[in-house]
Amino acid sequence: MNILNIITGNVARGPQTVRFPGREAPAAAYRGSVTMDAAKCLACGICDYVCVSRAIAVTPGAASCEWTYDPGRCTYCGRCVDHCPVAAVTQAGDRGDSYARSGAQRATVTVPYPACPQCGRPAMPYNEAVLGAAFGDVSAELRERIHLCERCRRRATTAALKANFGAAAETGRSDDGR
Amino acid sequence: MTVVRGLISLLVFPGALFALPAGWFMMWLQRKINARAQGRIGPPFFQPFFDFVKLLAKEPVVRPRLQGFLMTVLPLAAVASTLGAIALLPVFPKAGGFSGDLVLLVSLIEVGPLCAVLGGFVSRSLYGGIGASREAVLTLAYNVPFLIALFALVASAGSFSLAGVALAAAWPVRVLALIALVACIPVKLHLNPFSAASAEQEIYAGSTTEYDGPRLALWELAHALEWVALTGLVASLAFPVADAAWPVRVVVFVAVSVALVVVLSFAAASTARLKLAQTARWFLLCGSGIALSALVVAFVRL
Amino acid sequence: MSPVITMGPFHPALEEPYKIDVVCEGEHVTDASIRVGFNFRAIEWLAERKNYTADIALFEHVCGICSNVHTLCLSRAIETLAGIEVPERAQYIRVVVAEAERLHSHLLWAGIACELIGFETLFMACFGLREKIMDVLEAISGNRVNYAMNRPGGVNRDIADPGAVLAAVRAIADATSKQLIPVLTTDATVRARCAGVGVLTRADAIAYGAVGPTARASGLPQDIRASAPYEAYDRLLFEVPVRQEGDVFARVVVRALEILESCRIIEQAIEQMPAGPFRGDDYPKVPAGEVCSRIEGPRGEVFYYVASDGSDTPTRVRVRTPTFANMPTARPMVLGQTFADVPLIQASLDPCYSCTDR
Amino acid sequence: MDAESILHMLDVESAAEHRTDGWWVDVPDLDVRGLATLMRTREVRFVTLTGTPDTAGGYRLIYHWDADGALLNIATTVSAGCIASIADIWPAADWVERELRDYYALVFEGRAETPTLMLLEGDEPGLFSRTSAAGREIDPAVTARDAAEAERKES
């Protein structure tokens, strides 16, 4: 009569029901809704690429990038957090609020493109860690150029190339002994 | 038995005024014990009463006239007959009763299940029909030990009156017969392990599947009264206190009834539901065996 | 007259929509037909339009109960195709999560089986135990059902507190062996409902391609963990419980014993788990080709076929879930049984209709 | 029975390739029913059947078998859209054949009937290979009528 042991155990222990709102806090690793820190964002769009349910959308604009997130679509898989190269995307550790209307918690974060130090036009955001991962040893020249907007960077690169070619051409000409 | 006394036992004690709250209390107690056995909190004290009021307040589904009439009359008949059975209970063995009231009691108790069978069929639901046929088979099955046990008591006491049985039946016969009677109660009350007639995982609510609102409330009421009638029958036969003052008798009657509810509830919580054929076989073999032994003992003594 | 009794698509005995039409003579079943597809989501079609990283999250949602087996099987398919080695620690973590999921699935099933025979007290006891393993899984992965643990080349999260896992698993093994198994195997009413009911013969089990506990309860000793060990299973000791009877009771016993085996596996895995890295590269380069991958889920063998053309999106992903193989066996099982047994028999397969429908 | 012996009996030993996930062999003119009968007598378990469109406009069907724990994948090509059914030899193949009809409108010959499995009764088979009149693929979530409607509006 083992079932009687279970029953007497239950009676002796008392009800196990947790009365509202006495709910246990979620585990430390809990995967809640996603937030994004615009200050860290590179606007690379990886979170959009890995998002299975299209809860995250990254829409690049002229001077800034729109990052939208809809918890109603989110599957809370955490892929965006795992794959973000600069840890700009994080997940809340709590269960969040309930809501009644579809899309009520949709969030939009605008990631402004920093101004180009030369011309003032929008340039792409940059991050030291990613720069290191992409190029290994970062030369002073590269670090200086990375802040520029695309146009200024192209110009700077062309100028540098021209300068190099020019020097080579100068020496070549002199070597020619014409 | 005077008319006044009859009315009092029908309307006051052990009738309506006592039986209604007592029935709700017993239903609550069963659910509460079940919940505690499972480690849950269980329903609040007034839950069966709230359920009843809530169902009464609901607008019933519109049905064809004859069907609607039958579906109202059948649960009403079940309520009325069960109330009548309660009024006949020999709580005060010396105070009333008449020769042959045992037969009346048995037939009144049987009206409830009969109404449930008919009610299931007239509701014209497939599941109601299956529930009704299960109910019918089970009624046949448990009535074998039920009637044999009562007959053993009658044979032992030499009287067809409830009061006579309560006072005069020999104790060995009485114990065996009461065990058989108690075993029959779970079938009538749809409790495990003999709850095949209302197995929700198979046939939803069985014969009451199609019932709604006030009509279902009447079934719930009949169910609550059945609790009182059946536990009361066993209680009044098990502890007939003939000579004590009436408050003592009432207290003993209520205490034994409640104790029976507790036992049945724990038994229900610790078993699975048997199938229809298994339930029927149990009653025809084990249940009848106990009842028959009571009968044998009764005749040997005579 | 033999009435056709329809169970479903919505029925108190079923947690998910599906339909079984039972033809009855009296209480006896003379014919039955099964309809699925109520949950059809065309996940295989969707998978051909999403990249591998998103696909893993997509297949996580094939099933709510056995979500880990799908990501594990797909990850393994991608790893085989791309030739990725999984770090040893990740292999053990995968085993721990997979077995914890088996515990959770089997305890859930045991509870539902008890509920179907009207044994609510035991149902609550099973679900109480299940809650323990759910807490463990939440502590490891951060979620109760969709764990999101696997990625090609490893796992996403480390097991931060192996001691807590070990303690919970030991408590479950203890309660299972001391409380659950004695009641399930010796209780008279449980035996009356389960023994000799819904027999699947060995021949039928082969013909219908039954897998997992259903096959093992019919005398087929098949278990991918033993026959083609993956991850760390070749370094762990465990037994494959097999019964010959093929009835519901045999399936109850097989699953109950598997709960104990899973506890044993988790204990060993936690103890043997080496330190080291647990995840690999972020984006696997998947060359063109095709691959099959099989693992043993709680309900049986999970089969994935993945074809790639070398891009970041698969050209075809085919899933054969265990219930897809097991569900048709319900028909030979219910024939000749009583109607009251039908819910229990179909539940004894541990069916998962969302899995089947995909 | 083990995989090598089966391959030997089928006389495709030389064409077969052993990879980490099991044996693979392509048999363009496969006698499906003969294969099924052989597997049934040798108790080689039917795992499943995979159908996938090939580049030539036909379909590639892969019969997966479990021979003593080893996976045996026998592939064949279906160009005419129909192939013999093995559901009477292997009841396990019944559902998967119905499913392939639902997905790609493949016809399995020799079956008394092929009811839908995933689709509703009466739905057009070939859900995954549906294309609009303009040649674009149609999302399975969109019904045929909705798709036609949308196209008409566009044009």
The complex's ipTM works out to 0.82
DSSP sequence for B111-154: HHHHHHHHHHHHTT-HHHHHHHHHHHHHHHHHHHHHHHHHHHHH
* Cα–Cα distances in angstroms (integers) from residue A24 to residues A19, A95, B111, in the given order: 11, 11, 51
Regions of chain A where pLDDT drops below 70: 1, 166-178
Query: What pLDDT does residue B97 have?
Result: 63
pLDDT of residue B259: 93
Mapped onto helix, strand or coil, the DSSP state of residue D65 is strand
pLDDT in single tens digits along all 358 residues of chain C:
567 888 778 777 677 788 888 888 877 888 888 888 888 888 888 888 888 888 888 998 888 888 899 999 999 999 898 888 888 899 999 999 999 999 999 999 888 888 888 888 888 888 888 988 998 888 888 888 888 888 888 888 888 888 888 898 999 888 888 888 888 888 888 888 888 888 888 888 988 989 989 999 998 888 888 888 888 888 888 899 999 888 888 998 899 899 999 999 999 999 888 888 888 766 778 888 889 999 998 998 999 999 988 888 888 899 999 988 888 898 888 888 887 788 888 888 888 888 888 8
Q: Which residues of A touch C133 (CB under 8 A)?
A: none
Maximum pairwise Cα distance, chain C = 69
- The phi-psi region of residue D105 (left if phi > 0; otherwise alpha if psi is between -120 and 50; otherwise beta) is left
Contact criterion met (CB < 8 Å) for C228 and D95: no
Helical spans, DSSP H, in chain A: 2-13, 46-50, 79-83, 128-135, 140-146, 150-176
DSSP state, D153? H
Separation between Cα atoms, residue A37 and residue A35, nearest integer Å: 7
β-strands A56-60, A64-69 pairing:
antiparallel
pLDDT at B15 exceeding the cut of 50: yes
- Distance from D50 to chain C by nearest Cα, in Å? 7
Token code pair at residue A154: 């192209």
Q: Taking CA atoms, what residue in C is nearest to D71?
A: C292
Q: Across the strands, what pairs with C231?
A: none
Strands D82-84 and D107-109: parallel
CATH code of the region C41-326? 1.10.645.10
B vs C, Cβ pairs < 8 A, gives 72
pLDDT at B218: 92
Side-chain-side CA neighbours of B130 within 13 Å: the count stands at 26
Radius of gyration of chain C from its Cα atoms, rounded to whole angstroms: 20
Alpha-carbon dihedral sign for residues B186, B188, B191, B193: positive
Q: Please, are residues A61 and A112 in contact by the beta-carbon 8 Å criterion?
A: no
Pairwise CB contact (< 8 Å): D64 & C36:
no
The confidence score (pLDDT) of residue B47 equals 93
Domain boundaries defined on chain D: 3-122, 124-155
Query: What's the rounded mean pLDDT across residues B231-252?
Result: 82
Residue of A158, A148, A144 whose CA lies nearest to A121: A148
Q: How far apart are CA D116 and CA A93, in angstroms?
A: 45
pLDDT score for B278: 87
Q: Enumerate the domain spans of chain A.
A: 26-112, 114-169
Say if CB A52 and CB C57 are below 8 A apart. yes
Task: In whole angstroms, give the CA distance from residue C353 to residue D95.
Answer: 14
Report how far residue C107's alpha carbon sits from residue C130's, in angstroms, rounded to the nearest whole number.
6
How far is Cα B178 from Cα B181, in angstroms, rounded to an integer?
Answer: 5
C319 contacts in D (CB within 8 Å)?
Answer: none
Question: Is it the case that residue B265 has pLDDT exceeding 50?
Answer: yes
Whether C160 sits inside 8 A of A16 (CB atoms) is no
Tell me the two tokens of residue A49: 């690429």
Domain positions in chain C are 41-326
Is the pLDDT at B105 greater than 70, yes or no?
yes
Q: Do B40 and A13 touch (CB under 8 A)?
A: no
- Distance between CA atoms of B236 and C29, rounded to whole angstroms? 45
Question: Does the CB of A11 have a partner CB in chain B at under 8 Å?
Answer: yes
Q: How far is CA A58 from CA A86, A115, C48, C80, D72, in A?
A: 16, 20, 22, 32, 45
Q: Closest chain C residue to B35 measured between Cα atoms?
A: C121
Secondary structure (DSSP) of C186-228: H-HHHHHHHTT-S---HHHHHHTT--HHHHHTTT----HHHHS
D89 vs A136 pLDDT, higher one: D89
Which of B20 and B197 is assigned the larger pLDDT? B20
The answer to whether D40 contacts C207, with C-beta atoms less than 8 Å apart, is yes
Among D70, D90, D120, beta carbon nearest to C207: D90
pLDDT of D130:
67
- The CATH number of D3-122 is 3.30.460.80
CB-nearest to A75 from C125, C138, C146 is: C146
What does the alpha-carbon distance between residue B21 and residue D86 come to, in Å, rounded to a whole number?
67
Which H or E run contains B228? helix B213-238
Mean pLDDT within B86-97: 74
CA dihedral C34, C35, C40, C45 (to 10 degrees): 80
Of B163, B30, B187, the residue nearest B112 (C-alpha): B187
Rounded Cα distance, C74 and C96, in Å: 18
Residue D108: in which H helix or E strand, if any?
Answer: strand D107-109
CATH topology for A26-112 is Alpha-Beta Plaits (3.30.70)
- The bridge status of strand C28-35 relative to strand C19-25 is antiparallel
Asked whether the beta carbons of residue B270 and residue A16 sit closer than 8 angstroms, the reply is: no
Residues paired with residue C317 on neighbouring β-strands, in sequence order: C306
Q: Is the Cβ of C285 closer than 8 Å to some Cβ of chain D? A: no
Answer whether C77's CB lies under 8 Å from C59's CB: no
Q: In the predicted model, what is the mean pLDDT of residues B41-59? A: 92
